[in-house]
Amino acid sequence: METKVFSGSYVKIPQDGKKRALLVIDVQNEYFTGKLPVSYPSNAQENILKAITAAQKSGVAVVFVQHSIEVESPVFKKGSFEWELHPSIAAIQPDLLIEKTKPSSFDGTGLEAYLRAQGIDTVVISGYMTQMCCDTTARYAFHLGFNVEFLSDATATLGFENHAGKVTAQELHTAILVVQASRFSDVLSTADWIKRV
């Protein structure tokens, strides 16, 4: 597992008093040209980039999270093209880059220690997939005592079908947002979040 700190993050405190970190979760080629192409909402990657730009301008720490599987795997195999960060963010230098092997960005990583050391009390969820790593990370953050902001149009997923049933990408995405808003997160659009910071 790798954790890289790229800068001594300057964390600005906005008017609402919250010290934030934007988590950019698993924006990797797997979700674009690999076996798990996300489809809803279609403008999620555009909004992720807007959120990153706004965060950097506002002194909000930016954390890139990269999912890695060390053993032979059809997805996210470490070192493969699909595992690599998507070209739209690959040249951006985050404040922190972490690798994870489980759905939570906290489990087995240095994320919590970094956030505590920076005095950050609020995590902002963006990336892929809505119902898997984004949802799990948001819930984990909530249980650790962090405030959570979940960007409704800067997270995305794809439709699924298995022995338990079938769900469209839009249905799945919406259901997770509803559940998050009921207990775990403040769910809001990227545009509304940018106004806060």
What pLDDT sits at residue 71? 84
Global pTM exceeds 0.75: yes
**How do residues 69-82 score in pLDDT, each as one tens digit?**
988 889 999 999 99
For the chain, residues with pLDDT lower than 50 are 8-11
User: Per DSSP, which regions of the chain are E strands?
Assistant: 3-5, 20-25, 61-67, 96-100, 122-128, 147-156, 160-162, 165-167, 186-188
Going along the chain from its start, the domains and CATH numbers come out as: 3-196 (3.40.50.850)
